[in-house]
Amino acid sequence: MTSLPFLLYLPLLLLLPQLSHPGATPEPKQNLTLNMKPEPSSTYIVHVHHLAKPSHFATLGHWYTSMVATHSPRPVADHSTRILFTYDTVLHGFAVKLTGDEARRMSDAEGVSGVHEDRQLHYMTTRTPGFLGPDPGFGAWRDTDFGDSVIIGFVDSGIWPESPSFSDSELGPARPSWRGKCVGAEDFNASLCNNKLVGARAFYDGLSPTPRDWFGHGTPVASTAAGSEVRDAGFHMFARGTARGVAPKAKIAMYATGVMAWTSSIAAAIDAAVKDGVDILSISIGKEVPLPFYNDTVSIAAFGAERAGVLVVFAGGNHGPKASTVDNAAPWMTTVGAVTVDRMFPAKLNLGDGTVLTGHSVYTMKANGTNMVPLVINPCSEKTLTPDRILGKIVVCIFSLEHKDEAQDGGIDSLQRAGAAGLVQVYISSWSPDDLSSDLLLGAFFPGLSLSYTAGQNLRAYMVSEPYPVASLSFACETVINENRAPMVASFSSRGPNLVAPELLKPDVIAPGANILAAWPVNPLLPEFLNSMYRLSYGTSMATPHVAGVAALIKKKHSNWTPAMIRSALITTAATLDNTGREILDNGLIDTSDNAKVSSATPFAAGAGHVRPQLAMDPGLVYDAGARDYVDFLRALNYTTEQLRLFAPDMATCTRELPGGAAGLNYPSFVVFFDGRTDVRTLTRTVTKVSQEPESESSDVINLDGL
C-alpha cells in the first residue's frame, strides 16, 4: 500500500436563502356543515431498522403488517395485502399506501428509520463499441471472451425479446448460482427468455405489469451494453454495419419498472436483482432535482447493492449544460455523462447566393438540390404551420435552448398537412446542441435537416440580407465517420459541481450518448418509419450502458475485484484527449465573442474523461473503498445516526472521523473547497497495486482557468 497526498485549490460561495410566509387564521364560522372527503392515499416507502425487530414477531413481514395495522387502521381482513413491495436485501422496509397523516404517525413508530413519499423518476434517453476501442482481434474483447457469462441487470422500461440483439446463438446457460427467472405476462411468454435473456420480471403496480418494453427505452439500453452481434443493422439506410453491445456475450436480466419509473418500483427491482445474483446493474433513470442521499431511496438501495458486491452504473442526467445538475452522484454510484461520436449523417442546405451549409439529416430519399424554393422563418407551433404561410416553402424553425421549454408543438405531420417543401432546424443559442440528427428522427420520410449554431448564424445573415431568400435541400443519405472531432461533451449531459456532496467530483466518466444505433421495439401501432428494428437514440441513458458493458468486461477479467476497484479502473484510465490528440471539448457552451469557439471540457462536464476499455483492464493501481468508508463519508456530511441507519444500521453508531472531511474518502478524484480560513488542504489517498508488472505513477495538479 502507498499513500499519495494531493492538493487542489477551488473557492466556493454558496448562498441558500430561506423564505417564510406567515399565514392568516380565519375566524371560525358557526353552523357550517362540511362535506369532508377522506384524505387521499399515496405510496410511501417505510425504511425499517430491521435489527430492531421485536422477538415476538416470527418474521419481518409479520412485523411490517403489524405496523400497518397499528398506524394505518383500515377495515380490511388482511393488512399484508396493502403492502406493495417488501425490501430485504439492499435495504429493509416496505412500500405501502398511506395518507399523509398515517405516514407521519408511521415515521414515529419504533424501528422506523424514515418514511419517504414515492417519487416518479425519469428515463434519461454499431459504431460506438468500435469508437470506445474494443476490437474483435485483440484487447479487451479477446482478453475477456466478450464478457461471456457475466450477468448485467437492467432496471428499465422493459425489453423486446424478439430483437436479433437478444439472440443466444453460441451462448451457454447461466451459471448454476443464478437465481433469476422469467415471469410471463399477457404480452410476454416466459419461454421468450433464453441463454442471452436470463431474467425478465415486472416491478410496478398497475394494469397488466409486463417485462415487455412498450416505451422504447430498456430495449436500446440493454442492446448497447450486451447486445449480440447483428450484421447489416441500421436505421433504414443510415449507420449500417455490424451492431453489437460493448460486452456482446454477457447475459441480460431485465427488471422492468414500466413507463412511470416510481422510486418504490426501482428499489424493488434493485433488491431483486442483487438477490438474483447479477454482477453489474445499469440504471438509466434519474430525478429532476438531486436529493440528499438520506432522502433518496434509490441512493440507499444502490448503497446496499455495492455493499453486496454489485457495481451500479447510473446516468448522470440530461439537464445540461447548466451547472450543478448532475444526478445520481453518491460515491457508491458510478455516474456517467454523455459525449458525441465520430459519426455524422450530412445533408446540405444550398442558399440562393451560392453558399452551402452542411447539417445533419436522416431523410431517406436522395435529392440533388436543384429546385430553389422560398425560405420562411416560422415559430413552428401548431397554429402557425398553416398553408397560407408555408405551402411550397422550406420552413426554418428557430430554437433557443435557453427557452427550450416554450411550446413549439408543430410536428412533421403539421408540415406535411400544410404542404411545406422542407424543414430546417436552427439553433440560435450559446448552448450548442449536438443531438441534431436525433431531432430529425421523426423526419425520416420528410425532407429536413438540422444546423449547428455556427451554420445557423450564417443562414440568419443570408436571410436578413436577402429580401426574397431561397434555398434547396440536398440529401446523399450517407453515413460519414472519422471526419469530425470526437468525443465532445454533449450539450444535454448534466454538469457538476455536485450539489449533494460538493467535494465529490461527478460525473465520474463520459461515454458515447449521441446518435447511438441500438435495438428498438417493433410496435404495430406506431408509424411505419419508427418500426425499424434499430434506431438512433441519445441521452445519458445511452452512455450508461456503454460503461456498464465495460464494467462487465473488467468483472470477467477480475472476478474478485470490488465495485470500487472496478470504478477506480474506469476513472483512472479515462482519456482527456479526443481523436485529434487535443483536449476534449465541451459542446454545451460556445464563446459567441470568439468566433463561436468551443471551449475545452472541465472536470465538472467530463469527469475524469472518456472511458477506455482496453486500458481499464489493467489500471496498475486502484483506489478501493467499502461500506465502512462510505458511512464515514456520510458522517463527514453531518448525517445523523438515524440517517446513517438508512444505509447501514449495523455501522451507524461506530463511525470514524474522516481525515480531510468528505474529500478524504479514498476516491479516485476529488474537489476541494476553501472557507477562507486557510488556503491549504491536505488529503491522503491509499492505492492498491493490482498489476503484475512494476508501476511508476505521476500526478499533475491542473488549475481551472481564472483560479
pLDDT at 238: 59
Q: Where are the beta strands (DSSP E) in 175-236?
A: 197-202, 230-235
Question: What number is the average pLDDT over the span 670-694?
Answer: 86
For residue 12, pLDDT over 60 is answered with no
Give the position of cell 444505433.
517
pLDDT at 469: 96
For residue 23, pLDDT over 50 is answered with no
For residue 588, pLDDT over 80 is answered with no
The secondary structure of residue 173, as a DSSP letter, is: P
| pLDDT band with cut points at 50, 70 and 90 for residue 681 | confident
- The three-point CA angle 497-499-503 to 5° equals 60
pLDDT at 590: 61
Full-model pTM: 0.85
With a pLDDT cut of 70, the percent of the chain lying above it is 82
Least confident segment among 139-143, 146-150, 428-432: 428-432
Q: Where are the beta strands (DSSP E) in 284-370?
A: 285-286, 311-315, 334-339, 343-344, 346-351, 356-360
Integer CA distances (angstroms), 553 to 179, 444, 519, 545, in order:
21, 35, 21, 12
Least confident segment among 606-615, 644-653, 687-696: 687-696
Respond yes or no: is residue 72 known to be catalytic.
no
pLDDT at 14: 30
- In this predicted model, what pLDDT tens digit does every residue of 464-497 receive, in sequence order? 999 999 999 999 877 777 777 888 898 889 999 9
- In this predicted model, what pLDDT tens digit does every residue of 197-240 receive, in sequence order? 999 999 988 778 999 999 889 999 999 999 998 876 656 655 56
Catalytic residue among 92, 217, 319, 546: 217
Respond yes or no: is residue 319 known to be catalytic.
no
* Residues 567, 507 contacting (CB under 8 angstroms): no
For 477: left if phi > 0, alpha if psi spans -120 to 50, otherwise beta; the answer is: left
pLDDT at 348: 93
Top CATH class of 122-339+487-621 equals alpha beta
Residue, of 522 and 103, whose pLDDT is higher: 103
pLDDT at 675: 76
Classify burial at 358, counting beta carbons within 10 Å of its beta carbon; exposed 0-12, middle 13-18, buried 19 or more.
Answer: middle
Measured between alpha carbons, how far is 400 from 408 in angstroms, rounded to an integer?
11
CA 111 to the chain's CA centroid = 34
Catalytic residue among 541, 558, 624, 632: 541
* Residues 60, 92 contacting (CB under 8 angstroms): yes
H or E element that contains 415 = helix 412-417
pLDDT at 234: 59
pLDDT at 571: 98
| pLDDT band with cut points at 50, 70 and 90 for residue 32 | very low
Which residue stretches of 573-677 are H helix? 603-606, 613-616, 627-636, 641-645
* Cα dihedral: 222, 226, 228, 229 (round 10): 110
* Residues 511, 486 contacting (CB under 8 angstroms): no
pLDDT at 18: 34
pLDDT at 370: 78
For residue 706, pLDDT over 80 is answered with no
Respond yes or no: is residue 156 known to be catalytic.
yes
Measured between alpha carbons, how far is 240 from 127 in angstroms, rounded to an integer?
9
Mean pLDDT of all residues belonging to the chain = 84
| pLDDT band with cut points at 50, 70 and 90 for residue 1 | very low
Q: What single letter denotes the amino acid at residue 286?
A: G
pLDDT at 364: 73
Name residues whose C-beta falls within 8 Å of residue 678's C-beta, 6 or more positions apart in sequence. Answer: none
pLDDT at 589: 64
pLDDT at 611: 97
| pLDDT band with cut points at 50, 70 and 90 for residue 399 | low
Question: What number is the average pLDDT over the span 46-64?
Answer: 94
- In this predicted model, what pLDDT tens digit does every residue of 315-364 receive, in sequence order? 999 998 889 999 999 999 999 999 988 877 888 999 999 999 988 887 87
Question: What number is the average pLDDT over the span 143-157?
Answer: 88
Measured between alpha carbons, how far is 650 from 662 in angstroms, rounded to an integer?
21
Closest by CA to 220, choosing from 159, 134, 131, is 159
Domain segments of the chain as ranges: 122-339+487-621, 346-478
pLDDT at 3: 40
**Three-state helix/strand/coil letters over 26-95:** CCCCCCCCCCCCCCCCEEEEEEECHHHCCCCCCCHHHHHHHHHHHHCCCCCCCHHHHEEEEEECCCEEEE
| pLDDT band with cut points at 50, 70 and 90 for residue 701 | low
For 384, other C-beta atoms within 10 Å of its C-beta total: 15
Which residue stretches of 108-246 are H helix? 128-132, 140-144, 218-226
Catalytic residue among 156, 296, 508, 629: 156
Under CATH, which number does the domain 346-478 receive?
Answer: 3.50.30.30
- In this predicted model, what pLDDT tens digit does every residue of 446-460 receive, in sequence order? 888 888 777 888 898
Question: What number is the average pLDDT over the span 179-202?
Answer: 97
For residue 517, pLDDT over 90 is answered with no
pLDDT at 454: 75
For 122, other C-beta atoms within 10 Å of its C-beta total: 17
| pLDDT band with cut points at 50, 70 and 90 for residue 444 | low
pLDDT at 2: 40
CA 702 to the chain's CA centroid = 28
pLDDT at 473: 94
Measured between alpha carbons, how far is 495 from 299 in angstroms, rounded to an integer?
19
